[in-house]
Amino acid sequence: MIITPADNYLALDQWLSDKKKLLLVCDDSIRFQKKLNKKLEEIRIPFVSFSDFTPNPLYESVVKGVELIRKEECDCIMAVGGGSAIDVAKCIKKYMNMSGDGADGKWLKENAPSSVIPFLAMPTTAGTGSEATRYAVIYYKGEKQSITDEGFIPDTVLMDPEALKTLPLYQKKATMMDALCHAIESCWSVNSTDESSEYALNAIKAVIKNMDAYLENSEEGNKQMLMAAHIAGKAINISQTTAGHAMCYKITSIFGCAHGHAAVLCDRILYPWMIKNDRLCIDKRGAGHLNKMLNEIGLALGGKDAEEGAEILAGVFAKLELEIPEASGEQMEELVKGVNPVRLKNHPIPLDEETIRQLYREILR
């Protein structure tokens, strides 16, 4: 269910009406949410805040969050922030009923379902779509842990366009590109369905239509971009992401650019490459299906076909003036070796090591 901040967060009051104590999982962005903070001062139930985590959150932080929710006996969770805050809240929800204290990564090995504790998420960026997916990402001993659980999807999402008003411009650009790349990759994923494709194409159209208003920080632009990111999240919840995301994670870790920035660096090159190589399609629906979807992406971007869509995507990247990092030979090899093979399985055209290397040469300077 999606709720809004209308009537002084009336819907939030209603959600809290039968709860006893709230765990508020929040990142630093909450200090800019003036209306929400005022509301938190007024709510009738006690709450405790948990913010002891960083971007790319650690498993150990989740363990601390579980310790807190157990100690305080909270009966509901509210996450306020970007993808990291929401992912931490998801993992607290999953691990809170597991046995023991989670030492030595124990909970990562247990295949137990999430608790059924009520869970509300308020995204403060328009990009990750984490509030709409069954996925969470945390890190343990430097290794990325991708965790999947149907119980991760919040039962309620609070959409407040004011939450985006204080985002730095670079973060607005990067998170918007994350939403766009989610939608584009969902369309060409081998796991796509009619439902996911409808979500994805609508998300692409919404990003393109509302881009200028969003970057100008208008309330309507922020509102529409929040919804675009949300439905892009619903799309990848079905289809999962593909090579663009498989290739972008190491770009972020090596060069320090934001995730969405790294994703569009990749997808702006992958899209025209796929148009040229669609005959190599391994999607069981065949090259004709892939060609159709590449054209559908082009139409959603505002072009007449795939080729024109690829040009528009390149133009969007240029308009945003996002940096293209320069990679050394050593860094190039680290990138090639760091590609996640699981996400490559979702890609409709096979990518061997030499192809990945060549694509990285085009992606980076």
- How much is the average pLDDT of 217-230? 97
Instruction: Provide the pLDDT for residue 46.
Output: 95
- The pLDDT tens digits of the residues spanning 118-164 come to 999 999 999 999 999 999 999 998 888 889 999 999 999 999 999 99
Residues 177 and 252 grouped into a single domain = yes
Instruction: Provide the pLDDT for residue 34.
Output: 87
Instruction: Provide the pLDDT for residue 329.
Output: 93
Residues 175 and 134 grouped into a single domain = no
Which CATH number belongs to the domain containing residue 40 in this structure? 3.40.50.1970
User: What percentage of the chain exceeds 90 in pLDDT?
Assistant: 86
Contact 343, 240 (CB under 8 A): yes
Instruction: Provide the pLDDT for residue 99.
Output: 87
- How much is the average pLDDT of 163-168? 93
Residues 28 and 72 grouped into a single domain = yes
> Cα separation of 208 and 225, whole Å?
10
Token duo for residue 23: 């765990």
Q: Is the pLDDT of residue 227 over 90?
A: yes
Residues 237 and 347 grouped into a single domain = yes
> Cα separation of 183 and 162, whole Å?
24
Residues 197 and 326 grouped into a single domain = yes
- How much is the average pLDDT of 37-56? 92
User: What percentage of the chain exceeds 70 in pLDDT?
Assistant: 100
Q: Is the pLDDT of residue 111 over 90?
A: no
| Structural domain count of the chain | 2
Instruction: Provide the pLDDT for residue 113.
Output: 82
Q: Is the pLDDT of residue 340 over 90?
A: no
Token duo for residue 191: 């796991």
| The last residue of a domain, from among 162, 182, 211 | 162
Q: Is the pLDDT of residue 294 over 90?
A: yes
Output Rg (C-alpha) for the chain, integer angstroms.
Answer: 20
Residues 100 and 215 grouped into a single domain = no
- How much is the average pLDDT of 299-324? 98
- Residue 191 has phi, psi (to 5 degrees) of -95, 5
Domain span at 236: 168-363
Residues 186 and 87 grouped into a single domain = no
- The pLDDT tens digits of the residues spanning 71-90 come to 999 999 999 999 999 999 99
Give the chain's mean pLDDT.
95
> Cα separation of 254 and 9, whole Å?
41
> Cα separation of 76 and 342, whole Å?
33
Q: Is the pLDDT of residue 56 over 90?
A: no
| The last residue of a domain, from among 114, 133, 162 | 162
User: Which helix (DSSP H) or strand (DSSP E) does residue 137 occupy?
Assistant: strand 135-140
Instruction: Provide the pLDDT for residue 32.
Output: 84
Residues 89 and 183 grouped into a single domain = no
Which CATH number belongs to the domain containing residue 199 in this structure? 1.20.1090.10
Contact 156, 15 (CB under 8 A): yes
Token duo for residue 175: 């998170």
- The pLDDT tens digits of the residues spanning 190-220 come to 999 999 999 999 999 999 999 999 999 999 9
Residues 86 and 130 grouped into a single domain = yes
In single-letter form, the type of residue at position 9 comes to Y
Residues 103 and 205 grouped into a single domain = no
Residues 357 and 271 grouped into a single domain = yes
Please tell me the least confidently modeled range out of 73-82, 106-115, 215-224, 270-279: 106-115
Instruction: Provide the pLDDT for residue 303.
Output: 98
Q: What pTM does this model have?
A: 0.93
| The last residue of a domain, from among 144, 162, 180 | 162
Residues 209 and 272 grouped into a single domain = yes
Instruction: Provide the pLDDT for residue 114.
Output: 83
Please name which of 146, 164, 197, 204 lies closest in space to residue 80, comparing C-alpha atoms: 164
